[in-house]
Each structure stands twice: as C-alpha cells, then as structure tokens.
Structure 1
Amino acid sequence: MLRMIFIQLWNERKTNMLIYLELVIVSVFLWYAADALFVNYKSYSRPVGFDISHVYYVELATVPQGSADYDTTAAHNQFGAADFLTLRDRLAHHPKVEDVCFTSNIHFHYRFNNRFASFKQDSLVRNGYVRFVDPSYFRVFRVKTADGGPSEKLEQALREKQVVVTATVADDFFGNASKAQNQEIQVTDQGDRDSVFYRIGAVSEPQRYSEFHEYSYAYYKPVGTDEDFHNSSVQAVNGMRLFIRVKPDADNSRFAAGFTREMSQQLRLGNIYLKEIIPMSYYRDEMLRSWTDDIRVYFSGIIFFLLNVFLGIIGTFWLRTQQRSAEIGLRMAMGASRRGIFRHLLAEGFVLLGVAFIPAAIVFANLMHLEVTEQSEMLIPVADRLLCGMGMTLGLIGIMVAVGIGFPACRAMRLQPADMLHDE
C-alpha cells in the first residue's frame, strides 16, 4: 500500500507541489515556535532555590533631616538604626507573621540589585554575587541545604561568622557540597583589590535570579550584628530591606492593605516609618513580564501557523478529493469499502507530511547549529530539544492534516458510486 501511495503522489506531483511546499515552510516556523516554548518551559520548571509564597517586602522610610518631624535626639538620630531592630521585633511578635528577616539593599529577589564577586581557586575563576543577609533570611525564603535539609545549618553558619555558598559554587570548586564543607574559598568582592579567604560553613541549594536565569555563583555573608545597628545612625536603615513571611491562613488579597493600616502606628518609631507593604509576587511578575510577553507571541505564532495549515490543507484536499470523485466512485463500484478508501486518503496525507518534514528537519537543524533558534542560559540537551520540537510539530500538523482530509473525504463517502461516475 505504501509503495502505491508513493507512486500515486509522484504521478500527481504537480497538484501536490503547492501543499508540499506549504507543509515544509509551516513545519519550519511551527518547529521554531515549539522549540522556543520548550526551552522556556524547561527553564521555568526548574527550582529557583527559594520560595516567595506568602512573603512580603516591608518598605520602611526615614524622615528627611530638613523635615519639621525629624527627631534630633541622639537616640533616634545618631543611633537611630537601633530603632530598626525594635521594629523588626514588633513584626516578629505579630500573630499573623511567621518569620522576619532583613538583607542589605544589594540583595533583593527579582530586582537587579547586586554586588558582584569573583570566586578563585588556582586557575579556576567564576564570577557571581555576594549577598549580605540576616541569618533568618534562609528561613523566611525557605532556602534549603544542598542535600534538601532544613535551613538551620545555613543560619548557624552565618551566626558563627562563616559564609554560605550555593551548590553551584561547591560543585564547581570542590566537586560536591559535602567536600566543600569547612573548606576555604578565595573571593574578591566588587570594588575590592585584595581577595579574602572565607571558611564555608554550609552549602545551600542552587539558586538563580529568576525562573529564566541560569544557576548563580553566590555566597552569603552576615549583614551585621545587633551591636553594629546600635552604633549606627538612622541613615543606615536606608540600606536595609525588611521581609516578612505571613502565616498561610492569614494571607489573602486584602492582607497588604489591612496590615498597613493596622501597623502604621506600631511601625512608626523615631525617624523611621512604614511606607508600604508589597507582596514579592509583584516583583516577580514585573521581572518576568518580558519573558511572558515573548511566550504569548510564540503562542500567537503557533495559532496563526495552525490556522494557515488548516485552511490550506482543507482547501487543497477538498479540491483534490472533488477532482478524484470519479476515482473514488470507481473503487467503491469495484468493491472497495468506504472505510478502506477513507484510510487510504488519510495515509496519502500523512505520507505527504512525512516527505515534507524531512527538508524541514534539515533546515531547522541548521538554524539550531547557527544559533538562530531560542537561546537559553540553562544547559538543555540538543537531542531533547530536537525530539520535543519534532513531536509537537508533527502532532499539531498531523491533527490539521487529519481534519483537513477527513472532512471532505467524509462528504465524498456519503455519495453513491453512480453519482460519482455520472460525469465520466
């Protein structure tokens, strides 16, 4: 049967050429869009290394020195950073708050606030980030150890004045997390000329900047002690970022507004006041907006191509089936079953698709080799991309071919052989 189909397609090559070219072109474009969606999905689906669910940014502000409300007493001016710790404790004792932490302003998830660092060992050098955090940061953002354990080890390392490195650093420089434990690593922070050797107290799970970024080389240092804050002026608060994790049963769409009204007075101390409470999901949505817009474009492109394929195939095969009505009638008159003829017509369409898919695959493989296709910071095996793109493209176009052939073929099957052969 397959040999007969190839012979028939070759004999009718002039009439099949238009739909053949359409299948080749649309297959390439559809494969390109399917590959882009697959790459973005693989990047998005990997763990980011932290959890922002039920986490809010508590934005504090300070009264300007020239303001009439500015408190000039030493307790709230020269040593006003201590008020920040008092406000932190007030938040920690709120019945709706589960955990509280703070970081320096150079570490804020889903915002491009960073201080860079270079990790070195012999000739191996990697660039990454340094992040100043309160030990409670790991608990608030649900950061686990490299082996999936709870955050207590990470917190303890910072309290003991050691550093925490991500698993990406541990794997690259020491082979794995267990070998990196208690080792020293050479780091040069941004703006510093000299490198410093730090002892690794713990290793966190791999982390990345967002769902569409590669895993980062990063290490965590203590943001400061309580004594440092007691000896600092109120201006130090401007460099701090305060976060709370809300209890799940207390979190809802009205929480931020209600909590702001409730805590405005309690979070007003000295020259520090509460400005706003913002869910971390807001910053996540803002950062991912450009990626989600691209994904919408790819989806729109796929729908457009599928619509063109459907209209082109159904129009071409409708005309093709009409022109072959006498052939269909003759086969039915010679004893061929309607189901057998229907299967034969579908087989012709799928064989034509298979023949058209070969040059499409060659074109797409060359596009991938030339790096014209979607690029990603994540390392995704080429075989996975090819197989997934091929499967999605063949599946979607196959459905369109089946629908485009099946509808006019079903109409032709309902006619009587005598009516089909009347014109002949």
Structure 2
Amino acid sequence: MVSFAYPCSIGSSSSVLTAEGDSIDFTVMNISFWPHTNFFETYGFKHGEGSMSANQLSDYTFSESDIILTEDALEGMFHTKTYNRQRCWEAEGKDTTYVSVVGTVKPFKYANDLRPLPTVFIPEKNPNILDYLEDIHIAVRIKDGVSMERFMNDFKPWMLREMRAGNLYARDLQSYDDLIADSEFSSAISLYRRNLSVAMFFLINLCLGVIGTFWLQTRTRREEIGVMLSYGATPYNIRRLLLGEGVVLTTIATFVGCIIYMQYGLSEGLHEVSSYIKVITQPCWIDNFGQHFLIVSFIIYLILLLVVLTGIYIPAHRISNIAPTEALRDE
C-alpha cells in the first residue's frame, strides 16, 4: 500500500477537482495505488459504464496526469455516468493542473458505516517507499476457494522466516475482515455501543411482550370463537377477522406514536455528520427530514405489524380449527 488511505482504512485524504470548462469545485476522496499490482481486482472494484475492465485498469500504463474516478464522482462533475475521456483541473497555488480520466469504477463504501463517497484513484508511478517505513502495509489476495484461516495458518510462519530484507521484516498478519472490524470498533465510541446494546435489549423484550399480549388476548376469546363456529363461521373467516382487528389496532397505535415521535424529531433534527464527510457526501434521502421520517416510520409500522400478526395468527390458527363443542365446553 502506497498511502494511509485505502478502502476501510482509518486514514483518509481528499482533494478538489473541477470539470473542464466548469468553475464549480467538487470534493473527492483520494486513494493512491501502485499500477501493475492487481489493485482493482484485489479490492473487488467493478468497472464503470464505458470504461475498461478492472484488470485493464490495474495494468494500464498511466501518465503523470491520468486518474480514475468512481461513477458518482464522474456524475457529480460531468452529470453523466458514462466514461468518455473527460478531463478535470485542479488548482495548486497559482498553477492549474489538468488531469485526464482514463477509466471509472462503480461507487463503493469507503467504510461500512458510510454511504458511497466520490473518489479519485491516483496512480503512483514512483512512490517513495521511505515515506512509509514506519507503517508499511502489504495487501495479499488469496486464490478463490482457499480457506482464509488455513492460508493464514500456513503463511504466517513462512512470512516471519522469509520476508526479510536488511532491517525490514514482516511482523504481523491480519485478515482484511479483522482489519475492518478493528477500524469499526475504534470509530464507534463506547457510549454508542452501550446505547445500541440497551436499544436492542429493549427492542427484543418489547417485541416478545407485544407477541405475548396478543397471544394471551386471542386465546381468551376461545368461547367467542366457539359461538362463531357454531353459527357457521369458517376457520378462514375467523382468522381473517382477528388479523384484521390486529391490523387496525397496529395502524392506529403507529399513527399516534409517529405523531408523538415527530415532535421529538423536529426538535432534535437529523444526525449531523462531520463537516468533512458532509462536504464530500452526495445528497441522499436520509438528509431530507420528510423522506427520512416517512421511510423510517413505514419500516417501524411493518415491524410492529409483523410482531402483532405473529402474536395473533398462531393462537388464532389453533382455536379456529377446534370443534365448537370443545370451544364452548367451559361456557
């Protein structure tokens, strides 16, 4: 790796580019890479519309002014996702440097807790390895079908023994999944993890409580269902009636709850990300309070509906299939 910024790394870098013939600045993430090292195949990037393939991008002979963009960066600057040999420029002090887009890749998530960010890939033709002596990283792509655990178990002893050159030596081996987990753990503060644990605890118990309440309430209507069966109601009609009541109750409760919750949302507003991420991130529905509130409320409604109908259907299915005399025995 020739930079501290790469997919799922803790570090990050950014720059400002402008489309040729335009004057509107566009902020993008920077990722430097070393050509002819299978960079794009190793990380699983997919080529964009009209662009050469990932392995061709890795093996391309880049000039000093060549770059690769993600499709969302290309769209942000040129208002199209189709690669067509576009050019950009950037200001360096009083100088203006033009760069050529030689290919595009599909948008990707720089980290699992971020939405896709517009990114520029900068080829480093002659990187100075001395700049990274204190923290050099080497990414190894294993063959398809090879067990990660077995590879690491076999490779690490060989690595410690053979990967040495003068005062340089390989000191540690870590899977990429573990690297991502460490990065996410370091970025998630203890308060967030504690609140998430508490929220999950209450959510599970609340769902179980609602299921249990409707389960018990439905079972207590055994005699009522027996009367309905004795008057000719079919099990299907009984289940439909009970489930319909559950849908009506859930809809009313969700509507009232959402009105109350909306007052809290209006007073608190949406979560504000860091100013750096805010500048570089493209607009999305989660940034719009109305869309955000409606979509989240609808998801909550579906979850509540699933929980309530589960608590109703199972006992309703059982008691709607018994004989009327059995249902009315204790009446």
Task: Give the TM-score taking structure 1 as reference length.
Answer: 0.58
- Secondary structure of the structure 2 residue equivalent to 1:275: coil
Judged with a 3 Å threshold, the aligned counterparts in structure 2 of structure 1 residues 286 and 146 are, in CA distance, closer, same or farther, namely same
The residue number in structure 2 matching 1:172 is 76
Structure 1 alignment gaps of length 5 or more: 1-101
CA contact under 8 A between 1:119 and 1:186: conserved in structure 2? yes
Q: Which amino acid aligns with 2:310?
A: I
Judged with a 3 Å threshold, the aligned counterparts in structure 2 of structure 1 residues 409 and 298 are, in CA distance, closer, same or farther, namely farther
Judged with a 3 Å threshold, the aligned counterparts in structure 2 of structure 1 residues 299 and 195 are, in CA distance, closer, same or farther, namely farther
CA contact under 8 A between 2:72 and 2:107: conserved in structure 1? yes
Separation in 2 of the partners of 1:246 and 1:418?
Answer: 69
CA contact under 8 A between 1:184 and 1:197: conserved in structure 2? yes
1:132 aligns with 2:32: yes
Query: In the alignment, which of 311, 334, 352 is matched to residue 212 of structure 2?
Result: 311
Judged with a 3 Å threshold, the aligned counterparts in structure 2 of structure 1 residues 374 and 417 are, in CA distance, closer, same or farther, namely farther
Q: Which amino acid aligns with 1:379?
A: C
Structure 2 alignment gaps of length 5 or more: 274-280
1:363-399 C-alpha deviation (Å, 9 max, x unpaired): 4566666676889978347365454443332122222
1:379 aligns with 2:279: no
- Residue pairs, 1:207-222, within 5 angstroms: 207-222=108-123
Query: In the alignment, which of 54, 59, 64 is matched to residue 151 of structure 1?
Result: 54
- Residue pairs, 1:164-243, within 5 angstroms: 164-178=68-82, 181-186=85-90, 196-225=97-126, 236-238=132-134, 240-243=136-139
Judged with a 3 Å threshold, the aligned counterparts in structure 2 of structure 1 residues 138 and 310 are, in CA distance, closer, same or farther, namely closer
Separation in 1 of the partners of 2:313 and 2:134?
Answer: 64
The residue number in structure 1 matching 2:9 is 111
Separation in 1 of the partners of 2:305 and 2:327?
Answer: 34
The residue number in structure 1 matching 2:175 is 279
- Secondary structure of the structure 2 residue equivalent to 1:254: helix
The residue number in structure 2 matching 1:263 is 159
Separation in 2 of the partners of 1:177 and 1:297?
Answer: 43
Query: In the alignment, which of 151, 154, 160 is matched to residue 63 of structure 2?
Result: 160
Separation in 1 of the partners of 2:327 and 2:32?
Answer: 82
Q: Which amino acid aligns with 1:306?
A: C
Judged with a 3 Å threshold, the aligned counterparts in structure 2 of structure 1 residues 346 and 273 are, in CA distance, closer, same or farther, namely closer
CA contact under 8 A between 1:332 and 1:417: conserved in structure 2? no
Q: Which amino acid aligns with 1:126?
A: F
The residue number in structure 2 matching 1:395 is 306
- Secondary structure of the structure 1 residue equivalent to 2:68: strand
Tell me by how many angstroms 1:238 deviates. 3.4
Tell me by how many angstroms 1:413 deviates. 5.0
Tell me by how many angstroms 1:318 deviates. 5.4
- Secondary structure of the structure 1 residue equivalent to 2:161: coil
Q: Which amino acid aligns with 2:301?
A: M
Separation in 1 of the partners of 2:68 and 2:228?
Answer: 77
Judged with a 3 Å threshold, the aligned counterparts in structure 2 of structure 1 residues 238 and 224 are, in CA distance, closer, same or farther, namely farther
1:145-167 C-alpha deviation (Å, 9 max, x unpaired): 21275224423556333111222
Query: In the alignment, which of 111, 120, 130 is matched to residue 18 of structure 2?
Result: 120
Tell me by how many angstroms 1:177 deviates. 4.1
Task: Give the TM-score taking structure 2 as reference length.
Answer: 0.72
Q: How many residues align?
A: 305
Separation in 2 of the partners of 1:160 and 1:369?
Answer: 52
The residue number in structure 2 matching 1:142 is 44
Separation in 2 of the partners of 1:250 and 1:345?
Answer: 53
Separation in 2 of the partners of 1:111 and 1:415?
Answer: 66
- Secondary structure of the structure 2 residue equivalent to 1:159: coil
- Secondary structure of the structure 2 residue equivalent to 1:396: helix
Judged with a 3 Å threshold, the aligned counterparts in structure 2 of structure 1 residues 339 and 287 are, in CA distance, closer, same or farther, namely same
Judged with a 3 Å threshold, the aligned counterparts in structure 2 of structure 1 residues 413 and 146 are, in CA distance, closer, same or farther, namely same
Q: Which amino acid aligns with 1:181?
A: R
Using CA pairs under 8 Å that are at least 6 residues apart, name the structure with larger relative contact order, 1 or 2: 1
Separation in 2 of the partners of 1:374 and 1:248?
Answer: 40
Separation in 2 of the partners of 1:374 and 1:407?
Answer: 46
Q: Which amino acid aligns with 2:99?
A: Y
Separation in 2 of the partners of 1:408 and 1:129?
Answer: 61
Separation in 1 of the partners of 2:254 and 2:132?
Answer: 63
Tell me by how many angstroms 1:281 deviates. 1.0
Judged with a 3 Å threshold, the aligned counterparts in structure 2 of structure 1 residues 141 and 357 are, in CA distance, closer, same or farther, namely closer
- Secondary structure of the structure 2 residue equivalent to 1:264: helix
Separation in 2 of the partners of 1:144 and 1:359?
Answer: 46
Q: Which amino acid aligns with 2:70?
A: T
CA contact under 8 A between 2:89 and 2:96: conserved in structure 1? no
